[in-house]
């Protein structure tokens, strides 16, 4: 981890990203895009890198892929306030080319700290670059999409990137299925939470049982 990079909250991390010059993208960007959402979000979404619209507005997923993402989230009963959205790179690679290893490495402390500060219950990995960054050495996105993977106590679900589905319409169905898998996982977690809460409720005392039954 780069020396001196430690953050007490998302706000100080965001300020650091806006001043970051750890790689050449810090000089070519229009605006840095640290990420948006609450520190209390239970779901974290990790994309690849800002595109042209994001670079201009300083927010992740505000272009066509973002609109599709919003639609897919809505389909499973979620909206932006329910999630924290960010990317593996906080600055736009020129011409939307793939992230370079040096850029991924330089930017990695920011994503690591966001994950530590938010401690999400589940992290959605959008596309192959997010998958390779957070689950290095794992299988390809085409094999792992829609699967729940637990590593070091953190739960991940890799899914196809919405931009990939916009370019290749045959991926739209699988992407919708991936979101159904996300919903099924969230429902399971909710169910478990309820069961734990019920189990933790104190049993009624005998005199209360008497009042209850007559
Ligand atoms: N694609 C990404 O991966 N991230 C964005 O913020 C926008 C498009």
Phi/psi at 43 (nearest 5 deg)?
-125, 130
Alpha-carbon span 146 to 157, nearest angstrom: 6
- Nearest atom in ligand 1 to 85's CA: 6
The total number of structural domains that make up the chain: 1
Say what the pLDDT of residue 4 is.
59
- Residue 114 Cα to ligand 1 midpoint, Å, equals 17
Evaluate: CB of 51 within 6 angstroms of ligand 1.
Answer: yes
* 1 within domain boundaries: no
Nearest Cα to Cα of residue 51 among 110, 124, 126, 105: 126
Range of the domain at 66: 10-213
Residue 5 domain flag: no
Say what the pLDDT of residue 214 is.
52
Measured in angstroms, how far is the CA atom of residue 161 from the centroid of ligand 1?
9
Q: Is 48 close to ligand 1, i.e. is its CB under 6 Å away?
A: yes
Query: Does some domain include residue 47?
Result: yes
Between CA 37 and CA 82 the distance in angstroms is 8
Mean pLDDT by 10 residues, the chain (214 residues): 75 98 98 97 98 98 98 97 98 97 98 97 98 98 98 97 98 98 97 94 72 56
CATH code of residue 205: 3.40.470.10
Please tell me if the CB atom of residue 55 comes closer than 6 angstroms to any atom of ligand 1: no
Question: pTM for the complete prediction?
Answer: 0.92
- Mutate which of 48, 80, 110, 165 for ligand 1 pocket (most atoms within 8 A of beta carbon): 48
| Per-residue pLDDT, 5 | 77
Contact 132, 109 (CB under 8 A): no
What is the reported pLDDT for 212?
55
Asked whether 65 lines ligand 1 (CB < 6 A), one says yes
Question: How far does the centroid of ligand 1 lie from the alpha carbon of residue 202, in Å?
Answer: 47
Q: Where are the beta strands (DSSP E) in the chain?
A: 43-47, 83-87, 122-126, 149-151, 154-159
- For a ligand 1 pocket test, name from 30, 46, 47 the mutation site with the most ligand atoms within 8 angstroms of its C-beta: 47
Atom of ligand 1 nearest to the CA of 47: 3
Q: Tell me how crowded residue 98 is: count the other CB atoms within 10 A of its CB.
A: 13
> Cβ contacts of residue 124 below 8 Å, gap of 6+?
43, 44, 45, 46, 156, 157, 158, 159, 182
103 CB near ligand 1 (under 6 Å): no
**206 Cα–ligand 1 center, Å:** 59
Decide if 128 is inside a domain: yes
Q: Is 60 in the pocket of ligand 1 (CB under 6 A)?
A: yes
Task: For residues 50 and 153, give the distance between their C-alpha atoms in angstroms, rounded to a whole number.
Answer: 28
């Amino acid at each position: 981890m780069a020396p001196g990079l430690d953050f007490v909250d998302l706000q100080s991390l965001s300020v650091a990203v806006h001043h970051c010059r750890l790689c050449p993208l810090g000089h070519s960007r229009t605006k840095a895009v640290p990420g948006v959402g609450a520190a209390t979000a239970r779901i974290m979404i990790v994309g690849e890198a800002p595109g042209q619209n994001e670079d201009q507005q300083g927010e992740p997923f505000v272009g066509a892929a973002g609109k599709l993402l919003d639609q897919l989230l809505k389909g499973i009963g979620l909206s932006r306030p329910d999630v924290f959205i960010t990317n593996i790179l906080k600055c736009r690679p020129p011409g939307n080319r793939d992230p370079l290893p040096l850029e991924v490495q330089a930017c990695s402390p920011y994503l690591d700290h966001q994950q530590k500060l938010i401690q999400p219950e589940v992290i959605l990995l959008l596309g192959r670059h997010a998958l390779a960054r957070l689950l290095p050495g794992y299988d390809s996105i085409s094999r792992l999409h829609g699967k729940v993977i637990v590593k070091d106590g953190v739960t991940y679900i890799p899914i196809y990137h919405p931009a990939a589905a916009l370019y290749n319409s045959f991926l739209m169905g699988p992407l919708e299925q991936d979101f159904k898998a996300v919903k099924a996982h969230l429902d399971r977690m909710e169910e478990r939470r309820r069961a734990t809460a019920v189990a933790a409720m104190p049993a009624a005392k005998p005199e209360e049982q008497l009042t209850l039954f007559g």
